[in-house]
Amino acid sequence: MSSITSFLQILIAILTIVLGAFVIIRPTAIYNFTGLSANGVRGITEIRAIFGGLFVALGAAPLMLNAPAAYKMLGIVYIGIAVTRIGSMVSEPCFERSNLISLFSELIFGALLLLL
């Protein structure tokens, strides 16, 4: 595996962790970007758990396992999110800038991890 490949895989895993950690620390910061909001502490817990904890774990797993298949798994997750997002964007027409940013990020991260 080339050093560029390793660097990109590790960078994407770290960015995934950073995104998750940010949401754990500041769950309400995603309100404007995602269109989601919590109407109580229970909702804040869900945002932290799913958008925070899950993303921290998804990014940490390949780093901890240090196995090429773990990076492929993360790529599959990103592609799965992107495919679901595309379906939703088409069925409930929503092509807002933040949705497009998320989609392109997911497609790029997923493709890089699967093709490297």
Which structural domain range is residue 32 located in? Answer: 3-115
φ/ψ region of 94 (left if φ > 0, alpha if ψ in -120 to 50, else beta) reads: beta
Residue 72: per-residue pLDDT: 96
Q: Whole-angstrom Cα distance, residue 26 to residue 44?
A: 10
**DSSP letter, residue 98:** H
Mean predicted confidence (pLDDT) in 39-46: 91
Residue 66: per-residue pLDDT: 87
pTM for this prediction: 0.89
Q: Which two tokens stand for residue 12?
A: 């994407």
pLDDT score of 58 more than 80: yes
Number of structural domains (the chain) is: 1
Mean predicted confidence (pLDDT) in 10-28: 96
Please state, in angstroms and as integers, the Cα–Cα distance from residue 64 to each residue in 1, 12, 13, 80, following that order. 18, 14, 11, 22
Q: Whole-angstrom Cα distance, residue 77 to residue 70?
A: 11
